[in-house]
Structure 1
Amino acid sequence: PSWELWRTLPPPSGESQFWGSHLWCKPQKVAVLPCEILFPAWCAPSVMGVSICCLRILHIYAAKGLRAHTLAAAERMKALRRLDAKEHRGKTPLLVAVTARQAAIVHDLIQAGADVNAVDNKGQTALHLAATYGYTQVLIFLALSSPPSHTSFPGHTPLHCAVLAHNSLLREQGRQALPEEQHRELQQQSRELESCIQLLVQTGASIYSRDVKSNKTVLHYTVQDGNVSLLRYFLELNAFKSKDFVNNKAHGNTALHMAAALPGDKNQKEIIQLLLEHGADPSIRNLDNDQPIHMAPPGKAGDQVRHLLKKGKVTPAFNSCRRNARS
């Protein structure tokens, strides 16, 4: 029953060695799936042969950006209830399309009924992948179809993934002797990730969500990598709405503890000042009974940090959070 459809679809470009000298080889029937699947004669009658010839084709079309072919194949796979079939890495055609940055195909597959919450072998959903890669156009379609606070890979929300990716780019940009072309490319990727972060927040992603494993929020992630631009953005978003946001603990440490322990980071003083201005409490102790001032490194840089923390005062609006932060 599937032969007439597949016969009309040419193999993807560059796959001639895969499909042989003819467009399609003579089919033979294999009763492996609930319905009859037809595949080339050279394939062994096995689950692997069925997977490669009949399921992988939709993944290939999605990856190649062949929209018309993807639509035709998706219609057939939907009828066979195999629209979300996975390849060897656990990726559905939708996940492949997201990774390949094929926004139009992502839209088409969602409209066809693809599961936007499907995960690959690493636990990544389509939203996690788009957020990690900074694919804004892809994210637009996904954010309207899936909850942006969905937690998966591994215990992260898509917002966590985007922030971690942005941190990674900043570390790359900080490398010395970086070629000018690569530097410009990293800057562009950084801007795209910032757009993704803003889009996620606008569509409902919570800045207060915690990483399931480490209990960190986006505030902890920005501080631990000295990411001033994102730190400022999240602090302004909070704008004293949550008294505990700045003083939340992750493994016993507040963001101020993390900032004080930054190893000679050029943004350390600015980060500490920002946190103090937004209500960070320098008197809170961690699990080792240390206050942020005890986390400062030795030497001149540490002396400057200790000076900032000694004169830092908790604003009246945040006095009530001390009791909650210590609990």
Structure 2
Amino acid sequence: LQYQPASSTLSGPQFVPLPISIPEPAPQELEDARRVIGALPIEKLLLEDEDNDTILHIYAAKGMRAHALAAAERMTPLRRLDAKEHRGKTPLLVAVTARQAAIVCDLIQAGADVNAVDNKGQSALHLAATYGYTQVLQVILSLGFPLDLEMKDFEGHTPLHCAVLAHNTLLRELGCQMLTEEQQKNLQHQSKELESCIQLLVQTGASIYSRDVKSNKTVLHYTVQDGNISLLRYFLELNAFKSKDFVNNKAHGNTALHMAAALPRDKNQKEIVQLLLDHGADPSIRNLDNDQPIHMAPSGKAGDQVRHLLRKGKVASAFVSC
């Protein structure tokens, strides 16, 4: 399996994953595994432990590729390929969580339901996006099986929402002063992996306009609420010359500009406010409390700078509408 993701023409961050190559299973290992699995009586093959794990769940979790494929081949005609353990995870979802890209590939090709969800409504796409498993995500997207990129989990999040929220969490962790050099390096690597997942999902067709069910937020609101300026810039540039409403959409009555005006200074507040204004954010829009973004700015010098930007933006916006 070779997969080359589409290259982006954006001038913003280039989150392009490297091509991947999944080798075929080793013939001798697979032959030996088929012999072992073939000798198992059906009742043992279908036996579940106290956590409702089947033998296939266990092989997937341990990365035992040949045995997992051999077990999948026997369980498919028995309709147990998508058996769920106590958390609602199928063997495919366990393989995704265990970051076993080759087993993910084998199970999908064997007929595993790629849109199956666990007890939290999370599909293989949700899990790969949340954990930032780029290679696993590439495998899922590249095999050509029908996928629902806009499927929402029980929190109302699409896979793209999950990746953005996970990236926000990493940014918060990177801001911690107590990190060792090794911890910081690991978090930066995870951050790049998540960025690759975000780019890959968008290139495959995930919508930046999808709103979560609970709060009505888009990825724009998510990036602003955590001061994630690199992703904010990326999404704004993706939207350039497309939807005029995107930048002014409301979540709980607040636009992204309302949220930006209320940010603490250490969250890139001034830069984010300016970026939103540059991309058409309207500072005259009022929220449910009848407040404009300028009313949300904190007191003090930092708030004064933001208010100055918003006043300038208000004049510019009035000029454009004339």
Matching residue of 1:207? 208
Pick from 39, 42, 48: which aligns with 2:44?
39
- 1:82 is aligned with what amino acid? R
Alignment: residue pair count? 285
Pick from 46, 49, 54: which aligns with 1:52?
49
- 1:110 is aligned with what amino acid? I
Conserved 8 A contact 2:53-2:86: no
Deviations, residues 54-73 of structure 1 (Å, cap 9, x unaligned)? 95210111111111101110
- With over 3 angstroms needed to count, the CA separation of the structure-2 counterparts of 1:239 and 1:65, relative to structure 1, is same
Matching residue of 2:66? 68
- Structure showing greater radius of gyration is 1
**Aligned residues with identical type, % of pairs:** 79
Conserved 8 A contact 1:61-1:67: yes
Offset at residue 318 of structure 1 (A)? 7.5
Q: Does 1:178 align with 2:174?
A: no
Matching residue of 2:83? 85
Matching residue of 2:224? 223
- 1:296 is aligned with what amino acid? A
**1:87-236 pair list within 5 angstroms:** 87-144=85-142, 145=145, 146-236=147-237
Deviations, residues 183-224 of structure 1 (Å, cap 9, x unaligned)? 000000000000000000000000000001100000000000
Matching residue of 1:43? none
SS at match of 1:253: coil
TM-score normalised by L of structure 2: 0.83
Distance 1:6 1:65 in 2: 16
TM-score normalised by L of structure 1: 0.82
- 1:108 is aligned with what amino acid? D
SS at match of 1:69: helix
Distance 2:276 2:125 in 1: 30
Offset at residue 39 of structure 1 (A)? 3.1
- Unpaired stretches in structure 1, ≥5 consecutive residues: 11-22, 28-36, 41-48, 321-327
Matching residue of 1:8? 36
Conserved 8 A contact 1:167-1:222: yes
Conserved 8 A contact 2:226-2:267: no
Root-mean-square deviation (CA, aligned residues, Å) is 2.4
Distance 1:90 1:147 in 2: 19
- 1:50 is aligned with what amino acid? L
Matching residue of 1:33? none
- Highest RCO, 1 vs 2 (Cα 8 Å, sep ≥ 6): 2
Offset at residue 298 of structure 1 (A)? 1.1
Conserved 8 A contact 1:257-1:291: yes
SS at match of 1:50: coil
- 1:246 is aligned with what amino acid? V
SS at match of 2:44: strand
